[in-house]
Amino acid sequence: MRSLCVEPFQNLSVVDTGARRAFTHCSPWKTNHKHEAVLSFPLSSPIRKSLCICLSSSANLPVMMEEKKQTFDANEAAWLVKELNESFRTGKTKSYEWRVSQLKGIEKMVVEREKDICEALYKDLSKPEYEAFVSEIAMVKSSCEEALKELKQWMKPEKAKTSMATYPSSAEIVSEPLGAVLVISTWNYPFSLSVKPVIGAITAGNAVVLKPSEIAPATSSLLSKLFEEYLDRSAVRVLEGGVLETTALLDQKWDKIFYTGSPRVGRIVMTAAAKHLTPVVLELGGKCPAVIDSDVDLQVTVRRIIAGKWQLNNGQACISVDYIITTKEFAPKLIDALRKGIEEFFGTDPMESKDISCIVSSNHFSRLESLMDDYKVFNKIVVGGQRNQKKLKIAPTIFLDVPGDSQLMQEEIFGPLLPIITVENVKDSIDLINSKPKPLTAYLFTNNEKLKNNFVQSVSSGGMVINDTVLHVTVSSLPFGGVGESGMGSYHGKFSFDAFSHKKAVLYRSFSGDASVRYPPYTPEKQKLIRAVMNGGIFDIILALMGF
């Protein structure tokens, strides 16, 4: 083994994303155990790379060069934010034409690469193609179509009323983009929950970085490739990675951070954002209850509960039905109907069904197993309970009357387990829900109008659906978001545009109408007149002008 000198390569030039940079290095190298000489230096931002020049210990062998990936750190994150801010400052993202071109790019991407998207979702979650299309692809396509149709109207300034104190004047509210924004998405709907916030950021005219979830690696990798191919890389980026990469991104100053995930990580995101006074949208979760009265159409109710639980990514969704509240008298009939409904949808052995998703990872499988095996609840199973760790499958499982202090009732389940809690009177369900942190969504099934009104008025939740589940997310005229523990801020439709916009107040005045009453010296007459003006009464103003 011997030292090698870099002098023959002093004028080495490197091409990276179209930019050529020459670097001069004259310090000696040291060889490793493979007799390779390694030299690392920064290439064009934002991602730093290493150039590994492999030299055989025999000077006669050819020189080989290859890229060596390095960890994305705070320096790289700073470069990334700097480049996006520079791109934003050119003003191109603010134009209507740029926003439309990016939306059309996403729309084209979804249409042309539907098969690839479905395959990635199947690799990550065993998600049936039907579910992938309905809950991921169609949702993104619909958001694009609405944004393209309404964007021009959304961008128009909103007229605002003025007061007598500013007469003569006019006013408007101008929606302006925030700048460089960060979207951190989650794994359970790794395509739609990544792309839909990005659509909101683009429609508002921002530069945006998407950090998809590493827990859904196939979709994360695909998103990175598709965004490079279909969107403007100077203003729209995808950064893959895990905790280290996310931490590096959160260390930076963003103009807004949009996070979808758990309350635990939501606190971390909010703490990091507070350092820079960065506003946040937190789309979290919580224990979403479904109250079922005894006067319902039981067959329809059961089908909609199954759709809002096991058909919804096998319960791995923030708006999934987390637990049911019903009366002791009605519970046996409901359980029997749910058992029959599960068999109708997923067969006599749901573990073999191709229409139900798997658990996303072994860690999440173990977490769900521990909830099932808790000594307080393991003997409360009345339907299902089968599991297969190798296939990451857990059958739809129903529990009856688990204790309130069990882990099953203390944390969001995010899986195919469904506890049923019984009460003496269905009205008691409201107090039970209100004793817990505010959920992302609350569901009620009843024909009782008084109960409906009381439920809407008394239960605080991010959203609410009466006599169905989850469909509120498809209504773009409704804001989607949480309250309290279940999150803050909202999006969907124009609410996505608003989430990534600053509402700038603008008042216009001419040089006429400059009343002396506004300026010193402050006389008793001026004080009377200014009081009348501030009170807004024409009669008072006339009296003040007359000296009364």
d(CA 510, CA 506): 14
List, in order, residues 6 or more apart from 264 with CB less than 8 Å away.
none
Helix (H) or strand (E) holding 491: strand 490-491
In 3D, which of 295, 297, 324, 326 has the Cα closest to residue 426?
A: 326
d(CA 98, CA 81): 20
Per the residue annotation, which of 283, 288, 412, 485 is the catalytic one? Answer: 283
Per the residue annotation, which of 118, 144, 318, 358 is the catalytic one? Answer: 318
In 3D, which of 307, 330, 328 has the Cα closest to residue 317?
A: 307
Angle at 326 between CA 320 and CA 332, to 5 degrees: 105
d(CA 465, CA 443): 5
Reduce the DSSP state of residue 277 to 3 states and report it. coil
Task: For residue 114, indicate whether it is catalytic.
Answer: no
d(CA 268, CA 70): 25
List, in order, residues 6 or more apart from 547 with CB less than 8 Å away.
525
DSSP states along 237-250: EE---SHHHHHHHH
The answer to whether 386 and 351 are in contact (CB under 8 A) is yes
Angle at 306 between CA 122 and CA 430, to 5 degrees: 125
Taking residue 340's Cβ as centre, other Cβ atoms within 10 Å add up to 12
The answer to whether 472 and 441 are in contact (CB under 8 A) is yes
In 3D, which of 460, 462, 390 has the Cα closest to residue 431?
A: 460
Task: For residue 146, indicate whether it is catalytic.
Answer: no
Measure Cα distances from 276 to 76, 89, 211, 253, 254 in Å.
18, 20, 19, 6, 8
Measure Cα distances from 6 to 38, 63, 94, 355, 510 in Å.
10, 12, 48, 60, 70
- Catalytic residue annotation: 283, 318
